[in-house]
Amino acid sequence: MMQKSIIWVSNYSNTMKYLHFLLVIVIYGSTSISLPGQMLYNNDNVEVHILDENLFLLKETFRFTANILAISGEDGLLIMDTGFGEVSDDLKDAVNFLGKDVKVIINSHLHGDHKGGNKSFGEGIKKIAHAKCKEDFQTEENYFIGIIEKYCFTFSGIEIVCIPFAGGHSQCDIIVHVPDMKLVYLGDLYLSESFPLVDVGVGSKAQIVVENLKEIVHILPDDTRIISGHGKETSTGELKSYINMLEETIEIVRSAISKGASVQEMKDSDILKEYGQWGDFFDFITESSWIEQIYYSDE
Ligand SMILES: [Zn+2]
């Protein structure tokens, strides 16, 4: 087992201010300096980046990039989402690098790219998800907490606030707000570099994504660091701009529908061309698919 410690250096001099949060990593007796965001470890499918003193991003690069968060403390590790099951061994190796046992898993929702690795961490771990996901955790029921309203608990002295939502991305989304760390994890309710993915087939709706995100913005201080299920880290201000983009694009599509346009006509006329950048991040969430999602949300 690798001997390592991560030392947080907060008493830095003025001349070193540009480094801001300076970290010293000691591995096998050798010392190296890392900055927030820097990659500390990687294997074939997972990278470990340090974001803050006790906060780590485990970036899964299998199929498409997914964000898994780990909070490390005296109670062990709290993990937000567990990625694809196909690469759970790589996730486990990345978690092992952090040197503590996983004690809590929070699943933002039940899609396979967010809960596939749960089982690799074994039994006896407290698992938290939306109550509507309960059937997915039957074999581990003793440890499952299904929430239908705001649920707060303390982990390593840090307040963790889980808030359920339904009908935006999926039918069982929850977000994780950590006020002490000025952090929120939004799962796939917010794809920070892409149009949304609305699970219209199970009754989710584009407009509910907007309503959910407006509710979330309302509770977040302006200096909150926002991590989404996929895509770059953003801020409260960027989330507000994203909501504006959603409202504008929904209005454009609804306006065209009211004038009798079909889905195909809207695609052919490229009515969301001005917003094209939001359709480039995933190859399966394009301008055309966002038009379809809005159209079928209103049916
Ligand atoms: Zn996802």
Give tens-digit pLDDT for 245-294. 999 999 999 999 999 999 999 999 999 999 999 999 999 999 999 999 99
Q: How far is the CA of 254 from the centre of ligand 1 (A)?
A: 26
Question: pLDDT tens across 198-247, in order?
Answer: 988 888 899 999 999 999 999 999 999 999 999 999 999 999 999 999 99
Alpha helix locations (H) across 46-186? 88-97, 112-115
* Confidence (pTM): 0.88
Q: How far is the CA of 209 from the centre of ligand 1 (A)?
A: 15
Residue 5, pLDDT > 70, answer no
Q: How far is the CA of 111 from the centre of ligand 1 (A)?
A: 7
CATH 3.60.15.10 in the chain is located at 36-297
Instruction: List the 102-106 sheet strands across, edge first.
Output: 39-42, 46-52, 55-60, 66-73, 76-80, 102-106, 126-130, 144-147
Helix or strand (DSSP H, E) at 162:
strand 158-165
Q: How far is the CA of 8 from the centre of ligand 1 (A)?
A: 32
CA 236 to chain centre: 14
Nearest to 197 by CA among 84, 114, 131: 114
Q: What is the pLDDT of residue 110?
A: 86
Q: How far is the CA of 113 from the centre of ligand 1 (A)?
A: 5
Confidence of residue 84 (pLDDT cuts 50, 70, 90): very high
Position with higher pLDDT, 33 vs 85: 85
Please determine, looking at this structure, whether the domain spanning 36-297 carries the CATH number 3.40.50.300: no
Question: pLDDT tens across 160-198, in order?
Answer: 999 999 888 988 999 999 999 999 999 999 999 999 999
Q: What is the pLDDT of residue 93?
A: 96
Q: How far is the CA of 61 from the centre of ligand 1 (A)?
A: 12
- In angstroms, the first-to-last Cα distance of the chain is 56
Q: How far is the CA of 196 from the centre of ligand 1 (A)?
A: 10
Q: How far is the CA of 232 from the centre of ligand 1 (A)?
A: 13
